[in-house]
Amino acid sequence: MTAPVPTISSKSELPDRSGHFGPFGGRYVPETLMNCLLELEAAYEEAKADASFTRELRRLLRDYAGRPTGLYHAANLSAKLGGAKIYLKREDLLHTGAHKINNALGQALLARRLGKRRIIAETGAGQHGVATATVCARFGLECVIYMGEVDMERQALNVFRMRLCGAEVRPVTTGQRTLKDAVNEAMRDWVASSSTTHYILGSALGAHPFPMMVRDFHKVIGEETRAQILEKEGRLPTEMVACVGGGSNAIGFFHDFLEESEVRLVGVEAGGRCIEEGQHAARFAGGRLGVLQGCKTYLLQNADGQINPTHSVSAGLDYAAIGPEHAYYHDQGRIEYAYASDAEVMTAFEELSRTEGILPALESTHAIAYALKRAPQLASSDLLCLNLSGRGDKDVNEVARIMEAAKEARGASA
């Protein structure tokens, strides 16, 4: 295929100038960060309009990250399930193993433009930390990654990868010791260091301009998908599905299709063990409007407004808030949301590995789990496109541990 030219400018009018998507989003930060966010927004607007910035980003995405990624017809899986023809958008094939490098490259270029030589970031699954440490090595930037202690344990390999790239990984020991707490620590650092430091936020979350900027850096996923499906099938997909943590891979995949009303868009959240307080991360299944870490959105919180603990088999979806643009399109009815349980995800992980020889990241496997149920309900003329946001290499130890525990449980009950 001829690679489509990734565009950074957005064709949607949202967010508005104050960073709102309808009632969601905004800029709920300490006064000390306000200047920094305004400076970032101005630099981003300027960069977007600068052809040399776009050219350099496009070149890096192609030669360093590996774009365009393929759109793969999963013929075995489609035949086995019966029903829709399934396509996988192969973000798992990108350098560092997930979509996150798209955003990390864009923001590193922006940091250089701002003259900021120190980078901080937060990470849950470790994928964003790895992508950030990687681009910092590439651009010679100092790099500090905040990561919850629990996540460091679950994703030990990624911690090692970050350190190999020269990053300092700082364990976060507060709260639940996962992603939310890592974001708090990163924001605390930024308040004190913003004159020399850029914060590479890892999802379509946080204060304006982050949700907009992160989305724009990932829009290339959907733009390529459009060109590829038109080339292969001569028409748009019937339905597109992506997993939703903060929401960056999903909004990047969907954005170019928001105005195509005949294309159904479905985001899949982490259903965890069950939909009860503290057992999942399905914000639309149990969340309410609130403010967390810079933006107004749907949050998992208790009756007093305290943030609930969350659980998911995948560290990358284990977060109490969803990106504000998703909150908006949820309420508009444009994007639909479902969730997949940990157990369904384990089944789907094995299914894709066996039928296609592709080990998906546990995050991405939420979209696969949805497709296992959905594809048989569709006709053979329907096209079901899934965003395979990352590869599962980082998860094989965790998967082995869970399978072993399940086997023991079966043995004990036999």
Ligand X SMILES: *Cc1c(COP(=O)(O)O)cnc(C)c1O
List the catalytic residues. 100, 122, 389
Query: Which window, 72-80, 241-249, 272-280, 349-357, contacts ligand X (CB under 6 A)?
Result: 241-249
The verdict on 98 binding ligand X (CB under 6 A) reads: yes
Alpha carbons within 13 A on the beta-carbon side of 238 = 16
Task: Tell me if 294 sits within 8 A of 206, measured CB to CB.
Answer: yes
Widest pairwise Cα distance in the chain = 66
Q: Are 178 and 320 in contact (CB under 8 A)?
A: no
Task: State the Cα–Cα distance between residues 354 and 349, nearest whole angstrom.
Answer: 9
Question: Contact between 102 and ligand X (CB under 6 A)?
Answer: no
Contact with ligand X (CB under 6 A): which of 248, 279, 301, 308? 248
Q: How far is the CB of 375 from ligand X (least distance, A)?
A: 20
Asked whether position 223 contacts ligand X by CB under 6 A, the answer is no
Q: Which long-range contacts (CB under 8 A, 24 or more apart) does 213-216 make?
A: 213/40, 213/44, 213/106, 213/107, 213/110, 214/103, 214/248, 215/10, 215/248, 215/251, 215/252, 215/255, 215/325, 216/8, 216/9, 216/10, 216/48, 216/106
The CA R_g of the chain, rounded to the nearest whole Å, is 20
Residue number, 228 or 389, with CB nearest to ligand X: 389
Strands of the 294-299 sheet, one edge to the other: 20-21, 24-28, 294-299, 288-292
CB-nearer residue toward ligand X: 85 or 319:
319
Distance from the Cα of residue 109 to its chain's centroid: 20
Q: How far is the CB of 77 from ligand X (least distance, A)?
A: 19
Q: Is 232 helix (H, G, I), strand (E, B) or coil?
A: helix
Query: Out of 69, 134, 203, 310, which residue is the one contacting ligand X (CB under 6 A)?
Result: 203
Judged by CB under 6 A, does residue 100 bind ligand X? yes
The residue of the chain with the least Cβ separation from ligand X equals: 390
Provide the CB-side half-sphere exposure for 98 (13 A, CA): 33
Asked if 348 contacts 372 with a C-beta cutoff of 8 angstroms, the reply is yes
Residue 26 or 246 with smaller CB distance to ligand X: 246
Selected from 68, 206, 237, 245, the binder of ligand X by CB under 6 A is 245
Among 29, 183, 241, 244, binds ligand X (CB under 6 A): 244
Closest CA to 127 of 411, 414, 389: 389
Half-sphere exposure in the Cβ direction for 349 (13 Å, CA): 25
Binding mask 371-390 for ligand X (x = CB under 6 A): ------------------xx
Among 102, 293, 297, 364, interactor with ligand X by CB under 6 A: 364
Q: How far is the CB of 253 from ligand X (least distance, A)?
A: 9
Closer residue to ligand X in complex, CB, 375/386 = 386
Q: Is 148 in the site for ligand X (CB under 6 A)?
A: no
Query: Which range binds ligand X by CB under 6 A, 9-17, 56-64, 239-247, 335-343?
Result: 239-247
Integer distance in angstroms from the first to the last C-alpha of the chain? 54
Q: Which of 132, 158, 249, 308 binds ligand X (CB under 6 A)?
A: 249
Min. distance of Cβ 158 from ligand X in angstroms?
A: 10
Among positions 344-363, residues that touch ligand X (CB under 6 A) are: 361, 363
**Which C-beta is closer to ligand X: that of 246 or that of 286?**
246
d(CA 53, CA 58): 9
Sole binder of ligand X in the list 78, 96, 127, 279 (CB under 6 A): 127
Whether the ω angle into residue 211 lies within 30 degrees of 0, i.e. cis, is no
Contacting residues for 276 by C-beta, under 8 A, at least 6 apart: none
Window contacting ligand X (CB under 6 A); options: 23-31, 60-68, 123-131, 162-170: 123-131
Cα–Cα dist 184/43, whole Å: 24
Quote the least distance from Cβ 325 to ligand X, whole Å.
11
Return the range that interacts with ligand X (CB under 6 A); candidates 18-26, 59-67, 243-251, 349-357: 243-251
Amino acid at 388: L
Q: Looking at beta carbons only, is 270 or 378 nearer to ligand X?
A: 270
Read off the tokens for 195: 């004159």
Q: How far is the CB of 391 from ligand X (least distance, A)?
A: 8
In whole angstroms, what is the distance from residue 219 CA to residue 205 CA? 15
Tell me the window of 13-21, 51-59, 134-142, 244-252 that interacts with ligand X (CB under 6 A): 244-252
Number of residues that bind ligand X (CB under 6 A): 21
- Smallest gap from Cβ 327 to ligand X, in A, equals 13
List interacting residues with ligand X (CB under 6 A): 98, 100, 125, 127-128, 203, 243-250, 316-317, 361, 363-364, 389-390
